A = this chain, B = another copy of it.
Amino acid sequence: MDDRKLVQIGEQSVSLRSPVYLQASAAVGGTKEKKGLLGSFFDCIASDDMMGAKSWEEAESNFQKKALSLAMEKGGVRTEDLRYLLAGDLLGQSMASSFGCASFPIPFLGLYGACSTCGEALSIGSLLIDGGYANQVACVTSSHFASAEKEFRYPLDYGSQRPLSASWTVSASAAFILGAQKNAHSICKISAVTTGKTADYGIKDAQNMGAIMAPAAADTIKAHLKDLGRSVQDYDRIITGDLGLVGKEALLQLLRRDGIEIKDRHMDCGIEIYGQANETECRENSNAGGSGCGCGAAVLSTLILRRLQKREWSRVLFLPTGAMLSKTSFNEGNSVPGIAHALVLESME
């Protein structure tokens, strides 16, 4: 039973027995994503947002397939090397994943955590490797502006006006290869994970997802620091998935109530992806910022991993945030529960 010695710490975290290596990543973006400061760091930009498909949903599937293929190529990984494929997206019945990377002949675990799915996939993937259940796994998530607007809000053809608090769903997919061993490709290490609980503050405005997700992000950050006995200063950056400008302010304020100040170290993928982390540009390009499963995943691949690889940062807390919204729950007048799953990413020695 020694093998089963509990490695859980605190209430919600696990400190891995030994690091899991993030061996390769690839990001595929759309035309709007190309225009942002991160545009040149995508591995592939679709020539148009349909990416050769007949529907937006199929386009999103094509983004996923391309991202996974590229990550496998960059990591020198064959299909048969991958023990599990963990994937999810925002669409009903995770449609982009079911028709996207699920078509790869790899044991498939479908996940749903709204825009936090990238964090959920990397967390479960890390635990499966740490537990000795796999040598290598792939984690893939995606979102697409047009399929998401169709799924959650208004068909694009309506030309509906968007409030300032609304975010712009990122058209992107990113894929990550995790492995038990350090190899020549390895970009960074994953050393711990903190699994979020849902937080529902009763907010019903589907055009203000930042406010919905901020409480979940605050809870996960607090749980993480407490579980690991760490302070904000132990991290070069604390990076949320897609809070945007409104959610970022809410997060900073919520944490201040508990005496935690992260302003100097906080970064939000939703703010980074379109603007140059410049509030005016962010607003002009996307109202409150980018969002979606593809947002955090793409910024992880194009920006965060790059900084870790160059050792500009040595340790970051990455926590994709999700608003568990459905068209039906919204139409029935329900509030939106939020969730956030955190991972500790560390640069290689």
Contact = CB atoms under 8 A, between A and B. Distances in A.
Interface of A: 1, 3-8, 11-12, 14, 17-18, 54-55, 57-58, 80, 83-84, 88, 90-95, 98-99, 102-103, 105-114, 120, 124, 127-135, 151, 180, 195-198, 200, 324-329, 332, 334, 337, 339
Given A326-B92, A326-B93, A103 B17 contact: no
A7 B132 contact: yes
Nearest to A95: B326
Nearest to A105: B197
Contacts of A334: 58, 99
A94 B195 CA distance: 18
B133 A7 contact: yes
Nearest to A322: B110
A165 B1 CA distance: 48
Contact of A112 (B5, B83, B88, B195): B88
Given A5-B132, A111-B112, A131-B127, A197 B106 contact: yes
A118 to B, nearest CB: 13
A337 B6 contact: no
Contact of A337 (B58, B98, B180): B98
A135 B6 CA distance: 8
A107 B197 contact: yes
Given A111-B112, A197-B107, A328 B92 contact: yes
Given A109-B124, A200-B103, A339-B108, A114 B131 contact: no
A8 B135 CA distance: 9
14 contacts: A3-B5, A4-B132, A6-B132, A7-B133, A8-B132, A8-B135, A91-B326, A93-B114, A93-B325, A94-B112, A108-B196, A110-B120, A110-B339, A111-B111
Contact of A131 (B90, B107, B132): B132
Q: What 6 A-B pairs come out closest when comparing CB atoms?
A: A131-B131, A92-B92, A107-B195, A93-B326, A98-B324, A110-B112
Contact of A84 (B93, B195, B329): B195
A190 to B, nearest CB: 14
A64 B113 CA distance: 18
A345 to B, nearest CB: 19
Given A127-B128, A151-B328, 16 more contacts: A6-B180, A8-B134, A11-B80, A54-B332, A58-B332, A92-B93, A92-B326, A93-B114, A95-B329, A107-B197, A108-B339, A109-B111, A109-B120, A110-B113, A111-B111, A131-B132
Contacts of A200: 103
Nearest to A2: B3
Contacts of A6: 132-135, 180
